[in-house]
Amino acid sequence: MSWSNSSDTRTCADLLTYLVVSQLIRRRLTGKWLTAQHVVQCTHLWMCVNGRIDLLQRVALGSCAQALAMNVMQVSKVRFDAKTLRDAFVDHVHLDYQSRAVVEVYHACTVHITSGSRFSDRRAKRDRL
């Protein structure tokens, strides 16, 4: 999916960052990833605070959040431990864009959106080889 302007890119990067951090927290706390229902709930919570976003964009971002979280965990120098993830939020809804974890995830999300990459597609191809 392509993003039509830089405002869309920033908004999508913000939502994707929120979803990826949510995935990382869920994984740290339970050892499991968010279910599709939880991703939808997280998206709706984000939209209550930040405003609406196109349905197709929401679906595209929600569907790649887990794969991106897995990728960030593998390649990042940041340890996504309980303290790091706790410090990723100013409160229960707002991310702290000055925390190392959020900066790292936001960068990965921005690269993902602007490059149009698909981590899950690459992983599937690699696994078939």
Task: Concatenate the DSSP letters of all residues of 85-125 into one string.
Answer: HHTTBSSSS-B-TTSHHHHHHHHHHHHHHHHT--HHHHHHH
Residues 73 and 13: their CA atoms lie apart, in Å, by 18
The 10s digit of each residue's pLDDT in 19-74 is 999 999 999 999 999 999 999 999 999 999 999 999 999 999 999 999 999 999 99
3, 13 contact by CB (below 8 A)? no
Domain-embedded: residue 104? yes
pLDDT at 6: 54
pLDDT at 59: 95
Domain coverage including residue 63: 6-128
Domain-embedded: residue 31? yes
Domain-embedded: residue 1? no
User: Into how many domains does the chain fold?
Assistant: 1
Backbone angles phi, psi at 4, to 5 degrees: -75, -25
Residue 82 has pLDDT above 50, yes or no: yes
Domain-embedded: residue 124? yes
CA nearest 58: which of 47, 74, 73, 69? 47
